[in-house]
Structures are given as structure tokens and as C-alpha cells.
Homo-oligomer: A and B are copies of this chain.
């Protein structure tokens, strides 16, 4: 393959120059990558946008994979879409997939460019993802970044060399990333009434992902969204305006009253589901207080952001966990998303069976695990009854637990006072042992 490309400069779009450049590349690539060339030939780009316009003219870098066609390259021509994209959730999404990996062994140095300008140590981004930091270089690339590259690569959704927009308007395009145990939007849409009518009648009867989330071809995918990607609530004012946006879409088919009633039910399911996760977190924090998690946060490798402490928030890892935490991870990351996103996407099986039922079953399992750990360690159950109370030493410890729980918001001031009084009362009445 000829490595010397006859190029007359960097970014001269249109006209003879690029066509020449394209011809130069095509000499080899007709044979090397025939289907890619055929796709380009059939595309709107063939008329005036040649290979080097997007790929650049440094063939060595292209071969080494360090000259990816970034979104800003596309943005030179597609300004409106680019601007909508980078200021939306898709444009910010990638950051959550990253943290600096320079200190980790066996890192592929080519990864640096995802966060740093070439030759610079200044980060483009300071957002961290603990789970990404725990990956191998390869899993980070083909597990995490294959989706999180959406920030900087238009080809994440648009196919590399195709320019037809028709395929881009179909929900399938979103499936590769918006699927799986952590956020099965594709699966829940596909079997919702919207998805079913889309498949059997068409988008005039059942809207696609794009119809609701990218109306009129907008690339602002934050449109109408009221939660962060970690499923925390956005500020109320943002939620209000976003909800109004989405209602504008719903009322193209449904009445306002119906749509608002639906959203109010969905919001209630969101809050009820979140409360189940919070209950499970409290069980686990109490186990941690009692040193019953095995391995404990102290015993295991330090969390890359939180160190030797219990981490149950969006930075929670999925490795080196005790069983109770492993179950909690499922609740928080998988079941909650299925219940809540299932409700907003009108999928009863996801809302109820994959979501609500799994949340409750797994909460029960965590509480049962806690009861067993308490029993094995000679403690009474933390979440069940108090048939047999501990003696003096146990009461002291229980007072400390109550204090910690109150301080982290796990019980109200009234509950704390009442429970504390109860323990102290018992301490007075019972002999030391």
C-alpha cells in the first residue's frame, strides 16, 4: 500500500483537490477496503468531500489509529448539529467514562488523547469514573468507550461512510448503547406500545426514539430529560422546563390531561423505587458499622476515588464486594433503571417485573443476608425484630450505630431520640454481663 498520499493541503473542501486526494487513496483502498469505498461512493460526500478532508493526510497516523475523525471535523460543515450535540447530554456523556489512567499498569498511551490535547498534560476534562479506572486498557476501549465515544465521534451513531439520514431516524440506531442491564431503553421501547405500533404501523402511530428525544432532527438529546445519567434528579427548575418540552411531544397524539396523569404516575414510581434502594443502602451501612461486610472496605483494594471507605453512590464499583453490596449494585444500577425508565417508556413488564419485583426481591435478599451475618456473628438482626437484645457492650455499640445513622440522615431526629431513650432505658434496667 502506498504510504505517500498526494495531498494539496489540509482542509480545502470541494472541488478538484480533494477528488484528486480521494483518487489517490482509492488506488489502494478499492482493493484494501472495497466496501468502505463503495459506501463513500454512494454517499452525498462523494461529490465534494474526499478521504483526506476527514481522515487527514498523515497515513501513518491513520494506520496507527491516532487520527480518528473527531466530531469537530464533521462540525466544520455540520455546524448546527455539532453545536447541539456537544452542548447536550451526548456531548457531555463521555466525560463520565473517564479518569486519568497514567498511573495504571499496561495502559495504552494512545488513550491519552481522549482526555488531553496531544502533547499536553492539561486535561480537557476533570470528571471521573471509578469503574472505568478499574478496567484494563482493552476493556476500557471496547467495553466503555465504544459507547462513551459518542461525545467526540459522530460515527458512533452515523455510519462511517454513509450519509443517508433514513437509517438514522430508526430506533435501532440507538440500540447498541442504550441496551443491556443498566439501561435497556431499546428493549423496553421495542416491546412498549410505542415500539409495537412503530413496528406494525409506522412512526405515525408509534414514535421512535428520535421522534420524542430528537424532535425535528435536533441533536440536543437532553431534550425533555429530567434526571442525570446516574438517575439523580435535575434541579427543579430544569425539570419543569424539560417536562414542558416533553409534554409538547406527547400532546401531538395524547391529550394534555392524559399525558400529565401518566407523568405523575411515572414520577411516583421513580420516587417509590428510589426509596427501596435507599432502604437497602441503610441495611448495608449498618452492616459496615458492625464490621460484618466481608471483605470490608478496609480489607479490599482502595477505591480509586473513595479510598478505603464504603462507596454506594454512582461511583460504586462492581468488584471486590461483599455479597450484600453485590446485591445492592444490582438494585441501584440495574433494577432501579428498569423500574423507572420502564415507567417513563410505558413498558409494564420492565416497570413491574424487571423493575419493581426485582427491587423488592433483592431488598429481601439483602435483608436476609444481613440477618444471617448478624446471626453468625452473634448479633441480632438489624432490620428484623429485636427478640433478644445484646448485653451492656452491645448497647454501647448500638448507641454508636444510632449516632452514625442519624448523622448520615438514615433516621430523623425524633426517631433517633426515641430509639436512644429506649436503649438507655434498657441499660438502666438490666444488669451488666
Query: What residues make up the interface of A, taking CB atoms closer than 8 Å to B?
Result: 32-36, 38-39, 62-65, 135-139, 141-144, 146-147, 159, 162, 164, 166-168, 170, 172-173, 175-177, 179-182, 186, 190-193, 196-197, 199-201, 204-205, 251-258, 261-262, 264-266, 268-269, 272, 294-295, 299, 318-323, 325-326, 329-330, 343, 346-357, 360-361, 363-365, 367-369, 371-373, 375-376, 381, 384-385
**B322, A364: Cβ atoms under 8 Å?**
yes
Pick 5 A–B contacts, CB within 8 A, sort by A.
Answer: A33-B251, A65-B258, A138-B272, A181-B353, A295-B385
In the complex formed, the residue of B with least CB distance to A142 is B265
Q: What is the minimal beta-carbon distance from A279 to any residue of chain B, in angstroms?
A: 11
- Please determine whether B180 and A139 come into contact, CB atoms closer than 8 angstroms: no
A34 contacts across to B, CB distance below 8 A: 252-253
Q: Give Cα A65 to B252, complex, Å.
A: 18
Q: Is the Cβ of A159 less than 8 Å from the Cβ of B63?
A: no
**A266 and B142: CB pair below 8 A?**
yes
State A10–B363 Cα separation when bound (angstroms). 51
**Contact A361 B318, beta carbon cutoff 8 Å:** yes
Query: CA A273 – CA B82 in complex, angstroms?
Result: 38
Q: Are B205 and A39 in contact (CB under 8 A)?
A: yes
Given A142-B265, A354-B180, A371-B294, A191-B167 contact (CB < 8 Å): no
Question: Cβ of A363: which chain B residues have Cβ within 8 Å of it?
Answer: 319
For the complex, give the distance between the alpha carbons of A49 and B167 in Å. 37
CA distance A23 to B1 in the complex (A): 62
Q: Which 9 A-B pairs have the closest CB atoms?
A: A143-B352, A180-B349, A167-B200, A323-B368, A35-B253, A138-B268, A146-B348, A319-B360, A138-B265
- Is the beta-carbon distance between B258 and A142 smaller than 8 angstroms? no
Residues in chain B near residue A367, CB distance under 8 A: 295
Q: Is the CB of B182 within 8 A of A200?
A: no
Residue of B nearest to A355 (CB): B143
A299: chain B residues at CB < 8 Å are 384-385
How many Å lie between the Cα of A284 and that of B200 in the bound state?
Answer: 46
Cβ contacts under 8 Å, A180 to chain B: 349-350, 353-354
Shortest Cβ gap from A261 to chain B (Å): 6
Residues from chain B with Cβ under 8 Å of A204 in the complex = 35, 38-39
> Which residues of the partner chain B approach A262 to less than 8 Å between Cβ atoms?
142
Contact B200 A173 (CB under 8 A): yes
Most B C-beta atoms less than 10 A away, residue of A168, A190, A197, A368 = A368
Q: Decide if A176 touches B200 in the complex (CB within 8 Å).
A: no
Q: Contacts A136-B268, A364-B320 hold; do A159 and B205 have CB atoms under 8 A apart?
A: yes
In the bound complex, residues from chain B placing their C-beta under 8 Å from that of A257 are: 62-65
Do residues B368 and A265 form an inter-chain contact, with CB atoms below 8 A?
Answer: no
Cα distance A381–B295 in the bound complex, in angstroms:
9
Distance between A223 CB and nearest chain B CB, rounded to angstroms: 18
A139 to B342, CA, bound (A): 11
Chain B hits for A376, CB < 8 A: 372, 375-376
Cβ of A177 and Cβ of B371 under 8 Å apart? no
In the complex, the answer to whether B323 meets A369 with C-beta atoms within 8 Å is yes
Contacts of A364 in B (CB 8 A): 318-323, 325-326
Least Cβ–Cβ distance between A23 and chain B, in angstroms: 18
| A35 (CB) vs chain B CBs: closest residue | B253
Beyond A64-B257, A142-B348, A361-B326, is A179–B201 a contact (Cβ under 8 Å)?
no
B348–A147 CB distance below 8 A: yes
Contact in complex: A175, B191 (CB < 8 Å):
yes
Q: Are B172 and A193 in contact (CB under 8 A)?
A: no
- Assembled-state Cα–Cα distance A381/B251 (Å): 60
Known A-B contacts: A63-B255, A142-B346, A172-B199. Give 16 more (CB < 8 A): A39-B205, A63-B257, A136-B272, A139-B269, A142-B262, A142-B351, A146-B348, A164-B201, A166-B200, A167-B201, A176-B192, A176-B349, A318-B364, A320-B364, A330-B361, A372-B372
